[in-house]
Amino acid sequence: MRATVAIEPVSARIALVFVWLTLGAWTSVQAEPYFAVREGLACVACHVNPSGGGLRNTFGTTWGQTVLPAQRIEEEGLPMWTGALGDYLRIGGNLRSSATHADVPPAGGSDGDATSEFDLEELRLYLDLAVIPGRLAIYFDQRVAPGGSTNLETYVRYASPDQHWQLKAGQLYLPYGLRLEDDSAFIRQVTGIGFATPDQGVELGWESPQWSAQLAVTNGAAAGAETDEGKQASLTATYLQPSWRVGGSFNFNDSDAGERRMQGLFAGVRTGPVAWLAEADYIVDDGFAEGRRRLWVGLVEGNWSVRRGHNLKLTAEYFDPDTDVDEDEQNRFSAIWEYTPFQFLQLRLGARVYDGIPQNALQNRRLYFLALNGYF
Amino acid sequence: MLTQALTLVATSSDPDAMHLTGPTRAAGRFCGAWGMMVAGIAGCSGNGAGLDVNGRPVEGGDAPLTAQFESIQRNVFTPVCTACHAGAAAPLGLRLEEGAAYAMLVNVPSVEVPQRARVAPGAPDASYLVHKLEGTAAVGSRMPLNGPPLDAQTIQVIRQWILEGAQPPVSVRSNKSRMPAPTLSALWPIPDARLVEAPKAILLAADAELDTTLLRAGTVRLTYGTSAESNPEPLDVTIEAPTLAPTTIAIKPLVAWRAGEYELRISGSAPLSLADLAARPIDGDGDGVAGGDYVLRFSLEHDE
């Protein structure tokens, strides 16, 4: 999609973005697969990145200003923000801050503890430089706060003339399963594939109305230094229909630290105002001190669009850290009210309940949070 | 259970009616379906019978946290950090599971701030691990990510362990490691060579890329005279290794070669050992496990 923003409004937008960032009122909506399920769209419909997450394209930016919020604050005399600064450059960002209260019960001889904190979780800026619009682009995803700047994604992306094939090379997020925004979800944390663990390599993708597939071959070092000859292959494929989708993922990491194989199935279905997501993964990891472990991890999530701008997200998760050990399973339940009062701003009020073995306090903690999320 | 719940929601209602005209009924259906799922999954959590605090079968019971590496591993790294930092997919390559954590931490440059060691023995304030746990790191978020911070007492114990020299676990002190270790071999001179002509340099090769930040006086020692003698003379040396693919080392004394016996010793044991980029100490003595000093002896028949 081409930019339609004129030069003068661009300057005004940049100034506006700067002011917003300076005020620290921006946070994020990023990579929420339930949006895609609810709308019956592929990730690439809203994101520059065909496998989802990060910078939104013109459609995604517009959707986030018109369909998502409870109301839209009209801006007199200015065209709608699309993220495009001319024909070649597109920018975007996410900022997330939160107030969290954590209750850790007494367990295993340790005293209980409670903490409350305000936290600037992250400010990420995106830039897509389309040197040949529609065909060849350079993409950056930079985490600039808190602390110093860290690069998360930098890659060159080439698209075939018919846009079906995409080739990326550089540092990128791995394709595997549902690309949830919540990196603390078991299916993200245990698989080790999240927004904190990009890797360096190449990715080949295929996009069509019914299919979305990506195959990445990377170092397998989760952005750390490569230390061996082994490489990681990660494959995910999704069959898309307007009201449902189903997909499968496979990952193999050949490492001197021990081979790791993951395979999983995921699905999404829309039933009226509720968008459901589910994923289950089976992991075989040879990298543990005692040798091989087999793990199961799963998630079921329901997102009820109560009314425009309001979403109730309920999540149940399951984690079996070792199938050879009984009574070590863990659960996590979340209830989150997401309220998007107007464009670019979302509030999240939620609770997460961890339910694990009684002797481990952290596996039984409770988190209560209010998050301020913004996006542009 | 999941199938039942989805079927209930999908078949027993008009979706639009749920959304627009029957919010109370819709809420009831949604929460009812949800409750069924939660009830089904909640019954799956473990009761912990026969397990230690880390969810592993009990072997000797749980011990309180002390400023020993084994205790920190058991009470902090394993139960807290290995939720993410484990196995081949560990973020930034930092593996903190038992058997790997020590070699990944001590004297290893951090990925986020390479000029800082993750753990600098004797210097907790300079250790990036402490910065990350206390939330003062120059880059990235406080650890544990997405979880409550460690309490001050726990961090103080980790500080104390570092202040006391970040002593290794018994398994490392006894040169035991389950991970394959890099080995060194002499390209020139060969072991026990009797040289007629002074070498340009001592050339060694490694079968893995080495952490060149560890190539320094504390790990590399060239002496005139061997350790079998009463008082070998240490020699100042220059140490060179290529920046790209550092698998070779060139060592030269700063003084002219003299006729006599020489011994080159490269440390593979605590407190400071040469290691590869994965922080695996060298298998210096060639016994198949990490640890032990690499020793090369040779002699020169004439002065340079």
The CATH code of the domain that includes A71 is: 2.40.160.10
A109 CB neighbours in chain B (<8 A) are 62, 64
Upstream peptide bond of A33 is cis (omega within 30 degrees of 0)? no
CB interface of A with B, residues 221-250, below 8 Å: 221-225, 227-228, 232
pLDDT of residue A146: 82
Instruction: Please answer yes or no on whether A227 and B34 come within 8 Å at the CB atom.
Output: no
B113 CB neighbours in chain A (<8 A) are 148
Question: Which of B16, B53, B176 is the best residue to mutate to test the A interface, defined by the most A CB atoms within 10 Å of its own CB?
Answer: B53
Report the 10 Å Cβ neighbour count for A78: 13
pLDDT digits (tens, 9 = 90+) for B198-210: 888 898 888 888 8
Q: β-strands A113-132, A136-145: how paired? A: antiparallel
Instruction: Please answer yes or no on whether B47 and A359 come within 8 Å at the CB atom.
Output: no
Highest mean pLDDT among A289-298, B36-45, B93-102, B267-276: A289-298
A220 CB neighbours in chain B (<8 A) are 88-89
- Least confident window among A51-65, A301-315, B74-88: B74-88
Q: Per the domain annotation, does A261 fall within a domain?
A: yes
Read off the pTM.
0.69
pLDDT digits (tens, 9 = 90+) for B219-239: 899 999 988 877 889 999 999
- Least confident window among A127-141, A313-327, B88-102: B88-102
Mapped to the 3 state alphabet, what secondary structure does chain B carry? Answer: CHHHHHHHHHHCCCHHHHHHHCHHHHHHHHHHHHHHHHHHHHCCCCCCCCECCCCCECCCCCCCCCCCHHHHHHHHHCCCHHHCCCCCCCHHHCCCCCCCHHHHHECCECCCCCCCECECCCCHHHCHHHHHHHCCCCECCCCCCCCCCCCHHHHHHHHHHHHCCCCCCHHHHCCCCCCCCCCEEEEECCCCEEECCCCCCEEEEECCCECHHHCCCCCEEEEECCCCCCCCEEECEEEECCCCCCCEEEEEECCCCCCEEEEEEECCCCCCCCEECCCCECCCCCCCCCCCCEEEEEEECCCC
Instruction: Please answer yes or no on whether A184 and B94 come within 8 Å at the CB atom.
Output: no
Domain count, chain A: 1
B87 CB near a chain A CB, below 8 Å?
yes
pLDDT of residue A254: 86
- Least confident window among A6-20, B93-107, B140-154, B269-283: A6-20
Q: How confident is the model at residue B22 (pLDDT cuts 50, 70, 90)?
A: low
Question: Is residue A241 predicted with pLDDT exceeding 60?
Answer: yes
CB interface of A with B, residues 5-34, below 8 Å: none
Q: Per the domain annotation, does A5 fall within a domain?
A: no
A286, closest residue in chain B (CA to CA): B87
Say which of B44, B57, B148 has its CB closest to residue A329: B44
Q: Per the domain annotation, does A3 fall within a domain?
A: no
Tell me the residue range of the domain where A187 lies. Answer: 10-375
Q: Per the domain annotation, does A67 fall within a domain?
A: yes
B23 CB neighbours in chain A (<8 A) are 306-307
Q: Per the domain annotation, does A37 fall within a domain?
A: yes
B80 CB neighbours in chain A (<8 A) are 362
Highest mean pLDDT among A6-15, A163-172, A357-366, B246-255: A163-172
Q: Per the domain annotation, does A300 fall within a domain?
A: yes
User: Per-residue b/e over B62-72, b at no fewer than 16 CB within 10 Å?
Assistant: eeebebbbebb
Q: What is the mean pLDDT of chain A?
A: 87
- Least confident window among A76-80, B23-27, B273-277: B23-27
| Distance (Å) from the alpha carbon of A62 to chain B's nearest alpha carbon | 23
- Least confident window among A24-33, A79-88, B66-75: A24-33
> Whose CA is closest to B129, among B187, B87, B69, B184?
B69
B229 CB near a chain A CB, below 8 Å?
no
Say which of A104, A227, A269 has its CB closest to residue B148: A104
pLDDT digits (tens, 9 = 90+) for B97-128: 877 788 788 877 787 777 788 898 888 888 89
Q: Per the domain annotation, does A1 fall within a domain?
A: no
pLDDT of residue B215: 85
Instruction: Please answer yes or no on whether B37 and A316 come within 8 Å at the CB atom.
Output: yes
A288, closest residue in chain B (CA to CA): B87
Q: How confident is the model at residue B4 (pLDDT cuts 50, 70, 90)?
A: very low
Q: CB neighbours of B130 closer than 8 A, spacing ≥ 6?
A: B124, B155, B158, B159, B162
* CA A118-A119-A121 angle, 5° bins: 160
Question: Is residue A107 predicted with pLDDT exceeding 80?
Answer: no
**CA distance linking residue A174 with residue A197, whole number of Å:** 8
pLDDT of residue A38: 93
pLDDT of residue B45: 80
Instruction: Please answer yes or no on whether A289 and B141 come within 8 Å at the CB atom.
Output: no
Q: How confident is the model at residue A29 (pLDDT cuts 50, 70, 90)?
A: very low
- Pick A130 or B40 by higher pLDDT: A130
pLDDT of residue B227: 81
Instruction: Please answer yes or no on whether A360 and B18 come within 8 Å at the CB atom.
Output: no
Provide ipTM, 2 decimals.
0.72
Q: What is the mean pLDDT of chain B?
A: 78
Question: Is residue A48 predicted with pLDDT exceeding 80?
Answer: yes
Burial class (CB in 10 A: 0-12, 13-18, 19+), B299: middle
pLDDT of residue A74: 85
pLDDT digits (tens, 9 = 90+) for A54-73: 999 999 999 999 999 999 99
Q: Per the domain annotation, does A4 fall within a domain?
A: no
Question: Is residue A12 predicted with pLDDT exceeding 60?
Answer: no
CB interface of A with B, residues 70-89, below 8 Å: none
Q: Is the dihedral of CA B106, B290, B193, B233 positive or negative?
A: positive
